[in-house]
Structure 1
Amino acid sequence: MARIEENLEENKVTQKLNIGIWRKLFKYLTEFKNALLIAGIIMIGVAGIDVVMPLMTKYAIDNFIIKSTTKGLGLFALVYFLIIIFQVINVRLFIRQAGKIETHLAYHIRKLGFKRLQQLSFSYYDNSSVGWLMARMTSDVARLSEIISWGLIDMVWALVMMIGFIGIMLYHDVKLTLISMSVVLPLFFIGVFFQKKILKSYRSVRKLNSQITADFSEGVSGAKTTKTLVREEENLKEFKHDAGSMRNSAVRAAMFSSLFLPIVISMGSIGTGLALWVGGNSVITLGLSYGTFVMFITYTIQFFEPVSQLAATIAELQNAQASAERIISLIKTEPDIWDKEDVIAKYGDLFHAKEENWEKIKGEIQFKDVCFAYKNGEKVLNNFNLKIKKGQTIALVGETGSGKSTIVNLICRFYEPNSGGILIDGKDYRERSLLWLQSNIGYVLQSPHLFSGTIKDNIKYGKLDATEVEVERAAKLVNAHNFIMKLEKGYDTEVGEGGGNLSTGEKQLISFARAIVADPALFVLDEATSSIDTETERMIQSAIEKVLEGRTSFVVAHRLSTIVSADKILVIRKGKITEAGNHRELIMRKGYYYNLYTNQLLEDKEKESKEVFA
């Protein structure tokens, strides 16, 4: 299994607790501020009742037990009962509100992330593995929504409790309060130490979790390759290494977390002991009522519960910050290719088209001094020039890495020139929207990808509002109708994940139908017949001539027999056009194309002879 390198954005995360990360995150969550405010108010009510309960105990001791009377006990019991009912209602409302926030928050963050993934350019996916992206959109989002909906609201409860306890304790006895709270400052410094350790450990856990997700993704998608290369043992070793590293980091994080809370509880016990000692002496000397003494002990014991909760929430924030950093880095990633504001105002963006302003594409395309290099520094085109007339079929031929696919990807604006320009119908295509251009392109890849669903659904992805008549017409045009009708459910047949229920040739035919159902003005075939059998190739070849008629089209060819009828064939070598002409002209020239074609023709005849005598 190929090793997945650490994602580039992963290197950008901060190494210290950064409040700015959370501030940036909350900017994306403004629509939840009212829901969070309501939950916070409910928790203030819950905390307020928790603060009042020891006061009720003090009142009962001083007025009923010490005085040995039951006068007013009925009214006291009624008030106590009403307080309990109010608290039950508060807790129920809190759980309901926090649960709603968690669910809707996860949905909202995932929607923002998924929307950004739709906007990002091809160059982003060149440097990002599926595993890393899956980890961000699943476990990272779940972690964030949980800590925001439950952790931060628990923090409100803890802070209100602590403030309420200290306020009442100071009101009754300043000296006893200061003695009881003397352990708080040491506890703060202990907390800071553990927070740093916990943050470091949990960041490592999140990083390794993404690596393991990537390992799983590659293991499933590359299962056949693994078996053919007999890589099972090596893959297992690599996975054990990653899983072992994650286990060690998780154990380290759990160790620091498990040490932190007992230390908080132990320090709290010291505070309680001091309160018992000093408060007990005050009761003996009659300087403090027994009810107040019990209230102090109760507050001292309960005080460190919100401290523990606050410590736990801070530890959780340390954990979740790694997730927040990763989500923010995804949402804030700007696409390399983006429409200008004036273009969006006129033509709309990727999600809000203004089709009424879209010009119809005629199909004239021109490259003017185009230079292009990938982000890794690989230079592909240098002062590249090409002019294509409306309705021409242009075939691109050349060695792997010569720049054929780069040229068609630039035409489709999956990438943009570093300098120079690409004109469509005489106008730089950056002066029109991405959606305008790509809605007018039919693109068929060498390895077709089908989505889970039916054959009909997959064809309609090319035009979501296509009628059944249009779907069937497109299938007939590419000679896919006959094989579809032989299936048990016809057009309603499930294709399976990635089209796994169909052969490569059948998937390719459906991808052809999907590309042409929208009647695009421009058509791109990127080695679309290189991975199918001869019989299917003939079926597609007969369809190509019908499909490309009247459209400007580009064919990146591996099998040269599929491009003999092209209007112009371009031989691309190292990003330059070394030969240009139709099939007849290039054969007569007896150059690179002639040698390539004759060699391939001999190979095909030799293969056919072997099949005849087999």
Structure 2
Amino acid sequence: MSSRIDENKSTEKLNVGIWKRLFKYLYEFKKGLFLLGFLMMFVAGIDALMPLLTRYAIDNFIANKTSEGLEKFALLYFCVIAFQALNVKLFIMQAGKIETHLAYHIRNLGFKRLQQLSFSYYDNSSVGWLMARMTSDVARLSEIISWGLIDMVWALVMMSAFIGIMLYNNVKLTLISMSVVPVIFIIGVYFQKKILKSYRKVRKINSQLTADFSEEVSGAKTTKTLVREEDNLKEFRADASNMRNSAVKAAMFSALFLPVVLSLGSIGTGFALWIGGKSVISEAISYGTFVMFISYTIQFFDPVSQLAATLAELQNAQASAERIISLIETEPDIWDRKDVIDKYGDLFHAKKENWEKIHGDIEFKNVYFSYKNGEKVLENFNLKVKRGETIALVGETGSGKSTIVNLLCRFYEPTKGEILIDGVDYRERSLLWLQSNIGYVLQSPHLFSGTIKDNIKYGKLNATDEEVEKAAKLVNAHSFIMNMEKGYDSEVGEGGGNLSTGEKQLISFARAIVADPALFVLDEATSSIDTETERMIQNAIEKVLHHRTSFVVAHRLSTIVSSDKILVIKKGKIIEAGSHRELIRRKGYYYNLYTNQLLEEKEMQSKSMVLE
């Protein structure tokens, strides 16, 4: 079950539960955090000691008009200052170290979770949302945990020390000076609610802006061809303007908070001056004590304002914490049972010595499947495939073809029923075991930035150069690769931008087979390439799929005529099944589909010849 937090329902006050859930992921930093807190206690303690030293100097040197013992006092004062400087250096180094390591650790947790999550998560999560979580939210969170801890510990220790010393010296004067604290608390609660609400809105709009940036960059060519520049700019300006207004409102509340606290603090200091001054005149307290008391009163509201500022920052960071936790704690829809993990390992720690070899017999047994939105795709779907058979799936868009192969690959799992591989429910084996044995070629291949060799090796990271070249030759990609300036070391560009669609498809095909998978899936892999490249891939398919159980989702029916069995899918059900010749003889749905497509292709060829 997903633990993802609903951002619209999250609380508008400081939520201790959120921070508790977050800190359990930071357990390995507990020593560093305790050391940081310990250093800040020293800093705060010495800060609290300074007015006492001032009182001693006034009462012993100034009031008595003597310099006897001044040298020893000066040496002590210098040692205290030097020790404080060392403390400050150490805590800055420690806080910076924790901030960097925290960001690294949280991003690792988030990225690891993204690798584990199922297809359904990405169906419902925008790129902008994910990018904002892994970048700005993580940075904000690591900053407030490291530096915010400093400020909170320093403020709390300082306030406690100040109140203790002040009460020890004069209870009445302390209570009068602190009379404004309850008012500060009430105002603080009010501002906390306003600040958190505003910052949550800012973070939400920031996610949308990140998505706008991502889509604009990835869809730049589409924007140009559709002449969408002006419309896109208007939409972006609207979102940016909305974020600016929300950010200004959030900044306004934060900016007002501190002056209000300082103003109230000044009132408390005024009370101390009034009552303390009268006490000095009546000789109830010494002048040194009075100066010390005023110093404490003034300084007391410095940690109060710092604590208020930190709470405001926590309000801001809580919105980030909610989003980070919602990512890290989201459970995959597809997962292995504990006993399966114990035997076969998980996605990151494989126990390959226990992996059974896949022979390739596959059975869909009374399979039902519905998406999370309730859309039913398959009902009581049954299919038996023998080892080494090539099964082609054809049908109209939305008929369930891709769902069938996604279920086979366990990107989704049946709502009801079983999928057996070699007679065993594939949920009795690990996800990594199955998916390591599958070669999958998509309709729109994605290449990663790097060289051609790097991209082919994604299918098998420890593949040798000979294995890479063999895979490329098998899919007829070797010749065009060698014609490039640097051959296999040629850069493909971002998303494969330096290659044509057909070349990218050949590279992805080589990537899929370099690991020598037992099962193969081609999901409309030839629908977006030219006829010549299709012919090259078709020749490669016949060689690669030999002796492998394979599923081919086809748009161009000419590519599947040699399949062992063709299944015509309509509304999640098999309405026709057989070889190409058998289905043509029946003159049913497949016959009409094939002949219509053949006529369309001949018509296109005739038009091309006329144009030439």
- Tell me the CA shift for residue 376 of structure 1: 1.1
Aligned residue identity for 1:547: V
User: Which of the residues 99, 116, 140 maps onto 2:96?
Assistant: 99
Give how far 1:226 is off.
2.3
1:235: Cα distance to partner?
1.9
Q: How does 1:223-372 map to 2 (within 5 A)?
A: 223-372=220-369
* Equivalent residue number for residue 450 of structure 1: 447
1-side partners of 2:145 and 2:436: how far apart?
A: 40
Is 2:590 the counterpart of 1:593?
yes
Give, in whole Å, the separation in 2 of the partners of 1:179 and 1:33.
40
Alignment match, 1:213: 210
**CA deviation after TM superposition for structure 1 residue 223, in Å:** 1.9
* Amino acid across the alignment from 2:223: T
Tell me: CA distance 1:419–1:547, structure 2 relative to 1, closer, same or farther (3 Å).
same
Deviations 1:559-595 (A, max 9, x none): 1111010000000011000110111111111111111
Are positions 1:70 and 2:67 aligned together?
yes
Q: 2:410 aligns with which of 410, 413, 416?
A: 413
Greater Cα shift, 603-612 or 472-481: 603-612
Q: Would the aligned equivalents of 1:265 and 1:304 in 2 still touch at CA under 8 Å?
A: yes
Residue 45 of structure 1 pairs with residue 48 of structure 2: no
Matched, 1:541 2:535: no
| Amino acid of the structure 1 residue aligned with 2:432 | L
Which amino acid in 2 is paired with 1:344? Answer: I
Map of 1:577-588 to 2, 5 A cutoff?
577-588=574-585
Paired with 1:235 and 1:609, the residues of 2 have a C-alpha distance of 40
Task: Tell me the alpha carbon deviations over residues 175-214 of structure 1, each in whole angstroms, 9 at most, x when there is no partner.
Answer: 1111111111111111111111111111111111111111
Partner of 1:432: 429
Amino acid at match of 2:583: L
Could you give the per-residue CA deviations for residues 334-386 of structure 1, whole angstroms, max 9, x where no partner exists? 11111001100100000000000000000000001000011111100000000
Contact residue 13 and residue 326 of structure 1 kept, 8 A = no
CA shift for structure 1 position 598: 1.1
Mapped pair 1:120 → 2:117: yes
Task: Please list, as runs of the form range in 1=range in 2, the aligned pairs for 1:510-525 lying within 5 A after superposition.
Answer: 510-525=507-522
**SS class of match (1:135):** helix
Separation in structure 1 between the aligned mates of residue 605 and residue 466 of structure 2, nearest angstrom: 39
* Structure-1 residue corresponding to 2:485: 488
Quote the residue 2:86 is aligned against.
89
CA change 1:31–1:270 in 2 (3 A) is: same
1:195 aligns with 2:181: no
Which amino acid is the alignment partner of residue 598 of structure 2? L
Q: Does the CA contact (< 8 Å) of 1:484 and 1:490 recur in 2?
A: yes
Tell me how far 1:11 sits from its aligned partner. Answer: 3.8
Shift of 1:18: 1.2
Q: In structure 2, how many angstroms separate the alpha carbons of the residues matched to 1:257 and 1:188?
A: 15
Aligned position for 1:130: 127
CA shift, 1:439, in A, is: 0.1
How far 1:14 sits from its partner (Å)? 3.1
> Which residue number corresponds to residue 3 of structure 1?
none
What 5-or-longer segments of structure 2 have no aligned partner? none
- Given that 2:468 and 2:514 are in contact with CA atoms closer than 8 Å, whether structure 1 keeps it comes out as yes
Structure 2 letter corresponding to 1:292? T
- The CA deviation string for residues 115-148 of structure 1, in whole angstroms up to 9 with x for no partner, is 1111110001110110100011111111110100
Q: Deviations over 1:18-72 (max 9, x none)?
A: 1100000001110011110000000001101100111111111111111111111
Match of 1:555 in 2: 552
Between the aligned partners of 1:9 and 1:175, the Cα distance in structure 2 is 49
The Cα offsets for residues 209-233 of structure 1, whole Å up to 9 and x where unpaired, read as: 1111111111111222223333323
Letter of the 1:50 partner, please give it. D
| 1:169 maps to 2:186 | no
**Quick one: percent identity of the two aligned structures?**
81
The reply on whether 1:476 has 2:473 as its aligned counterpart is: yes
Whichever residue aligns with residue 565 of structure 1, its letter is S
Q: 1:105 is matched by which residue type in structure 2?
A: L
| Equivalent residue, structure 2, for 1:570 | 567
1:31 aligned to 2:36? no
TM-score, scaled relative to structure 1? 0.98
**Alignment: residue pair count:** 608
For 2:457 and 2:330, locate their aligned partners in 1 and report how far apart those are by CA, in whole Å: 31
2:524 to 507, 523, 527: 527
Distance in 1, Cα, partners of 2:237 & 2:250: 20
Residues 361 and 386 of structure 2 are in contact (CA less than 8 Å); yes or no, is this contact kept in structure 1? Answer: yes
Match of 1:140 in 2: 137
Of 358, 375, 384, which residue of structure 2 is paired with 1:378? Answer: 375
Q: Does the 8 Å CA contact 1:364/1:426 hold for their aligned counterparts?
A: yes
Letter in 1 for 2:116: Q
Structure 1 stretch displaced more, 594-603 or 219-228: 219-228
Q: After TM superposition, give the deviation of residue 8 of structure 1 in Å.
A: 8.2
* Aligned-residue CA RMSD (Å): 1.0
Return the TM-score normalized by structure 2: 0.98
> Is the Cα contact below 8 Å between 1:8 and 1:127 reproduced in 2?
no
Distance in 2 separating the partners of 1:216 and 1:484: 33
Shift of 1:601: 1.2
SS of the counterpart of 1:385? strand
SS in 2 for 1:52: helix
- Give, in whole Å, the separation in 2 of the partners of 1:9 and 1:267: 37
Unaligned runs of 5+ in 1: 1-6
- Report which stretch shifted further, 369-378 or 220-229: 220-229
